[in-house]
Structure 1
Amino acid sequence: MSKATPATRALESAGVAFTLHTYDYDPDAESIGLQAASALGEDPARVLKTLMAVVDGKPVCVIVPSNQEVSMKKLAIAAGGKSAQMMKPPEAERLTGFKVGGISPFGQRKAVRTVLERSALAHDQVYLNGGQRGLQVRVRPADVRDVLTAVVADVIA
């Protein structure tokens, strides 16, 4: 597994301190985020999942704890829109340049508005996808917010 991905290169160029963590990715897992948390031996609230959504026709990246679901109504409001829906996997892959199960909020092909679930900031360190299946980066949540210029909001259902 290559440790150099568009995500890790984006973090390095932004000067963000991070550590890499690999695990055995299970493509058949019911929840990729929960499987990652289990494989890493981490609290699912600290292992964040990166989801791609569409708010009023515009792409939005939303980051929430792996054990939570996104409220589409709250996401729409946080992104300044009226309605939100999840993006279809092929569209998310095309837009981000990453495969589903390996989508990172860092180093996406095109920068999009990002919404970070407020509860993520309660942790010293969080895990996010590092740009490929089975690779996570551990970073400070404040760095996630700052590097992505993310809107911080309560977006969990």
Structure 2
Amino acid sequence: MAKKAKKQQAGGTPATVALTAAGADFTVHSYDHDPAHPSYGEEAAEAMGVSPDRVFKTLVADVDGSLTVAVVPVSGSLDLKALAAAVGGKRATMADPALAERTTGYVRGGISPLGQRKKLPTVLDDSARSHETIRVSAGRRGMEVELAPATLAALTGATMAPVGRTSSPSGV
């Protein structure tokens, strides 16, 4: 796959602006967002025809009173205990959505790990290493950026750790 830094025209997001400013290799992918879809991440994977293991969702958690970002595959869920351990904390809970939006500058379903209003500690699930590129939110519902996991980790200062849980087919 040819990867080129895309220059952003009007309509860029803080995430794409940050990627462009860093000179990163990335590709923007857009799709028509359906507000009725029950899962933003699954919708993105389906709409783009990409395996849900390569599309990562950005979640904001509260670890011992500090907001922390977790980036995990949409095919699974976040292991809160593992996230707390990855950042040296004891307990993690999902952050209040309104607080996550205010702190990152993005709306739910469009929170990107890149270009956030306030830089938060970030943990990228180590399953990302098994892919040449992954996709994360570009900062808007219906817009994703594709980039190398190492690029995402470098630009966000992310730690890579096993913080994602895979969903079993039986739902158990």
CA radius of gyration, larger in: 2
Deviation by residue 1:22-57 (Cα, 9 ceiling, x = unmatched): 011122222110110000000000000001111000
Alignment partners' CA distance in 1, 2:11 and 2:19? 12
Alignment partners' CA distance in 2, 1:125 and 1:67? 16
2:44 aligned with 1:74, yes or no? no
Q: Number of residues paired by the alignment?
A: 157
Q: How far apart are 1:121 and its partner, in Å?
A: 1.3
Alignment partners' CA distance in 2, 1:59 and 1:139? 24
1:60 to 49, 56, 68: 68
Alignment partners' CA distance in 2, 1:31 and 1:79? 27
Alignment partners' CA distance in 1, 2:64 and 2:151? 28
Task: Give the TM-score normalised by the residue count of structure 2.
Answer: 0.88
1:103 to 102, 105, 111: 111
**Cα 1:32–1:26, aligned 2, differ >3 Å: closer, same or farther?**
same
> Secondary structure at the residue paired with 2:47?
helix
Question: For structure 2, which runs of at least 5 residues remain unmatched after alignment?
Answer: 1-9, 166-172
Alignment partners' CA distance in 2, 1:156 and 1:50? 11
> Secondary structure at the residue paired with 1:130?
strand
> Secondary structure at the residue paired with 1:9?
helix
AA of the residue aligned to 1:58:
S
2:50 to 42, 52, 61: 42
AA of the residue aligned to 2:89:
G
Residue equivalent to 1:8 = 16
Residue equivalent to 1:21 = 29
Alignment partners' CA distance in 2, 1:92 and 1:28? 22
Question: For structure 1, which runs of at least 5 residues remain unmatched after alignment?
Answer: none
2:151 aligned with 1:140, yes or no? no
Residue equivalent to 1:87 = 95
Alignment partners' CA distance in 1, 2:12 and 2:57? 20
> Secondary structure at the residue paired with 1:38?
helix
> Secondary structure at the residue paired with 2:124?
strand
Q: Could you list the structure 1 runs, at least 4 aligned residues long, displaced by more than 6 angstroms after superposition.
A: none
> Secondary structure at the residue paired with 2:100?
helix
Residue equivalent to 1:33 = 41
Alignment partners' CA distance in 1, 2:164 and 2:148? 20
Task: Give the TM-score normalised by the residue count of structure 1.
Answer: 0.96
What is the Cα-based RMSD across aligned positions, in Å?
1.2
